[in-house]
Amino acid sequence: MHLQLIEVRPGILISESIDERPETISSNRRKIDVHAHVLPKHIPDFQKKFGYAGFVTLDHREDGTTNMMKDGKLFR
C-alpha cells in the first residue's frame, strides 16, 4: 500500500491510499490533510549553535508572509 498525494489548491493536499490488491479496492479512502505550521516569530540559529546544517529558519517577507527555509532553500 502507498499514498498518492493530490494537490487540489496550493497548500491543500488530498491523500489517497492505494492498495494494488484487487480484494481491497473498495477499502480505499480519500482524506483531506488540513494543518498549519505554528512557529514562534523568531527561531534561534540552531546551525550556528549546534554546528551542523538541516535546521529550519524563517524568512520574513515584506508582504507579511514568511517562508520556511532549510539550508538556504525554500522548504515550505
Residue 47 is predicted with a pLDDT of 92
**Per-residue pLDDT, 32:** 83
Render pLDDT for 16-73 as a digit per residue (tens, 0 to 9).
Answer: 655 555 554 555 677 888 888 788 888 999 999 999 999 999 999 999 899 989 998 9
pLDDT at 2 over 60: no
Greater confidence (73 vs 6) lies with: 73
**Whole-number Å distance between alpha carbons of 65 and 50:** 28
